[in-house]
Amino acid sequence: MPIYTRTTGWCWFNSPFFLNSFDIGGKKYSSVLEQTVIDLHAESNGRIPKGICAICLQLGARDSGSSSNNCWVNLYRDPSSLYVLQRNIGTYNGVGPALPDNTWSQEQGIVPCDGDGNISFRCVASGTETLDISIIAVGFAEK
């Protein structure tokens, strides 16, 4: 059985899945201020081909201190680009509204990939290992 279905230039996964380092209940994150590359091929155990041009993702986040802190996750095309997909769960520069602590919030969107078919992320957490990030791969566009 194929793992994805092609439609109009996009390949949609028959069963969307978490990227290895971004599953619910997995790794907890502290702030990552430098944009960090996510190798989509490796994070998907090869289900996402190398060299794709865009990916459709569900981005989720929660933080144990979101009600009174600036907490967010941004996804980027590459380390030199502006963010494409953002999930802000805390106060923004001290101004609300913020989500209650440990409340999941999700966003879905399409993120363009760099020349190798990868994306980048950055995040701000309320403290050390307080931020949970989930990224679910929904589909991708090939070059």
Percent of the chain topping pLDDT 90: 74
CA distance 61 to 134: 6
Q: Tell me whether residue 63 is exposed, middle or buried, using C-beta atoms within 10 angstroms of its C-beta: 0 to 12, 13 to 18, 19 or more.
A: buried
* Mean of pLDDT values over 92-118: 89
Residue 4 has pLDDT above 70, yes or no: no
Q: Is 140 helix (H, G, I), strand (E, B) or coil?
A: strand
Residue 2 has pLDDT above 80, yes or no: no
CA distance 106 to 91: 16
Per-residue model confidence (pLDDT) at position 25 = 73
Per-residue model confidence (pLDDT) at position 72 = 93
Percent of the chain topping pLDDT 70: 92
Residue 105 has pLDDT above 90, yes or no: yes
The pTM assigned to this predicted structure is 0.90
Residue 84 has pLDDT above 90, yes or no: yes
* Mean of pLDDT values over 58-68: 95
Asked whether 63 and 126 are in contact (CB, 8 A), the reply is: yes
Residue 129 has pLDDT above 90, yes or no: yes
Into which CATH architecture does domain 19-141 fall? Answer: Sandwich (2.60)
Domain boundaries, the chain: 19-141
* Mean of pLDDT values over 25-51: 93
